[in-house]
Structure formats: structure tokens, C-alpha cells
Amino acid sequence: MLDQTRIIRADIYSLAKSYNHYAEVDVHFDERAKFQAALDTRILAYGAGINDYGAKQLAPHMLRAATILRAFCFESLEKTQMTCDNLFEIFKHHDIGKTDEHYKRATIWTLDRAPTPEEKADQKRHAELGPKVIDDVLKQMEASTLFRQSDYILALKGASMYHHERLDGEGPQGLKDSALGPIMKTMCVVDAYDGDLIPRQQQIDRGEIRTPESVVLRLYEDQKYHGGLDPVIINAFRAFLPRLQELEVEFAKNDATRRPVLTPSFP
């Protein structure tokens, strides 16, 4: 059972700064590597031969979001490199709930129209399903009790469950501002940013081309974010725009299906 109280009290940040993901001497190093490989296999297989959603969209999205989170936390929020590396490793699997067997039709994630209210509600369930998928994978690999209760697993469960929360308590789990730590709030901003930058069929039909700059502005202006995202973090994220534009160019090199190559508008 997920210890929500501990996650809320400790915050992802406290969990993520308590170990070194890359230290081979870490007691959980081998199990963590095995567990992450199992998650990656699961993600890459999801929707294979149907819409290849796991390999073509989900894995690239999570990798981009994790890369942005690591850079932002290190360069703007001045967290330590080790903590930011840990946050990267956690966030690169934050949408693992989308691979739950509840979503037998992987096509629910690649609709060529706006989802119906029922489909939207169903999609939102991926947050609460995150810890369940993590437990399924831990069970399959017969993970030790110590690893199941490790800070890494706890932080990953927290990220998978709370990355769509809103300050006004209207997110999937209903946590409010004071219950969300700063890194959790940052994860919500980063996820919204990367998600909004993914071209959708409806935008293409309208001739709308999104850029890092236009999407950062949407975080302020779009009605759906009002009362949801932390304005202090959005301001810091806006100041980070030159780096977001640089990262976008890097992503486009490896991710041709996802975004057109954008030329940064700064020198």
C-alpha cells in the first residue's frame, strides 16, 4: 500500500536527495537497474504493432520531460547534481500508469479528435494506476521488501500519482497547494509544458504551430491551467526559456516524429 502520508510530508525532493542513483555501492543498485529495465521493456512493448504508442510517443515524452526537469532543477532551482540526476531517473517513468492493463486499447492515447468526457476521465486515471503498475512489476521480479520501500520507489510512486495535481485541488488525487512540495509542483509544470508541445491533429488542422515560447505563454493564459499551476514556478520556467529552446533543438535531432526543428530566437 502506498504510504501517501510519507510522500506528502517528505516531498519528492527529500526522497530524491537521500541516495545516489548511480552509486554501485548503493544497496538497491542491482534491483533498481533490473526494475528500470523491466519498466522500459513494458513501455516499449505497449501498443506495439497497433500504434506503437509506448516506443514512439510515451518513452520520448517521458525522456524529454525528465531531461527538462533535471536541467531546470539544477540550473534554476540550484539543487545538487545528484538530486537532479535522481529526479531525472524518477521522472522518466512518471506516466507508467498509462501501460496498465486497464488500457487494453493503446489507441485511447492517440485519438485523432478531442476525447469525449468519458475518454478524458478514463485517461486521467493513469495517475492513480501508476503505483499499481509499479507494484505489479515489483511483484513480477520478486523484489525485496527493502527495495519496495526504498526512497526511489516511493518517489517514483509519488511522481506517477501526483504529476497532474493542481493547486486548487481539482487534480486527479485532489491534493491542494500546501500538500504539494515544490518539486511536485515543478513536475506538474514540466509535464504540462512538454505535453502541450506535442503536436495534435486538431492543431495541425488549424495550422497552429507551437513553440517553446508559445507553450510557456499558454501556461499563463490557457484557461485550463488557471488555478492549477504554481505562478512562482511558471515565472522561473519562463526565465528558463532560452534553455528550453536549446533543449528543443537537441530533442528534435533524435525525435523526428515528434517536433519540427526549431531555431532558437535568441543569439
State the residues that interact with Fe ion by CB under 5 A. Answer: 95, 191
Could you tell me the smallest distance in angstroms from the CB atom of residue 168 to Fe ion? 18
Report d(CA 52, CA 160) in Å as an integer: 21
Is the Cβ of residue 147 or residue 171 nearer to Fe ion in the bound state?
171
Query: C-alpha grid cell for residue 240?
Result: 528558463
Which cell numbers in the block locate residue 122? Answer: 478514463
The region, left, alpha or beta by phi > 0 then psi within -120 to 50, assigned to residue 78 is left
Cβ proximity to Fe ion: between 165 and 191 the closer is 191
Among residues 26 and 122, whose Cβ is nearest to Fe ion? 122
Query: Whose Cβ is closer to Fe ion: residue 129's or residue 153's?
Result: 129
Supply the minimum distance, in Å, between the C-beta of residue 191 and Fe ion. Answer: 4
What is the nearest approach in angstroms of Fe ion to the Cβ of residue 195?
6
Task: Output the smallest distance, CB 190 to Fe ion, in A.
Answer: 9
* Buried b / exposed e along 100-132 (16+ C-beta atoms within 10 A): beebeebebbeeeeeeeeeeeeeeeebbebbbb
Phi-psi bin for 79: left (phi > 0), alpha (psi -120 to 50), beta?
beta
Q: Are 188 and 165 a contacting pair, CB within 8 Å? A: yes
The CB-of-62 to Fe ion minimum distance in angstroms stands at 6
We find the least distance from the C-beta atom of residue 126 to Fe ion, in angstroms, to be 6
Which alpha helices (DSSP H) does the chain contain, by range?
4-16, 29-45, 53, 59-75, 81-91, 117-124, 126-140, 145-148, 151-162, 182-197, 201-206, 212-221, 231-239, 241-254
Give whichever of 28 and 98 is closer to Fe ion, judged by the CB atom: 98
Apex 107 CA angle, 50 and 61, nearest 5: 95
Which of 150/160 has CB closer to Fe ion?
A: 160
Nearer to Fe ion, 95 or 165 (CB): 95
Rounded to the nearest whole angstrom, what is the least distance from the CB of residue 263 to Fe ion in the complex?
Answer: 26
Alpha carbons within 13 angstroms on the beta-carbon side of residue 111 total 8
Q: 204 exposed, middle or buried (CB, 10 Å; 0-12, 13-18, 19+)?
A: exposed
How many angstroms separate the most distant Cα atoms in the chain? Answer: 53
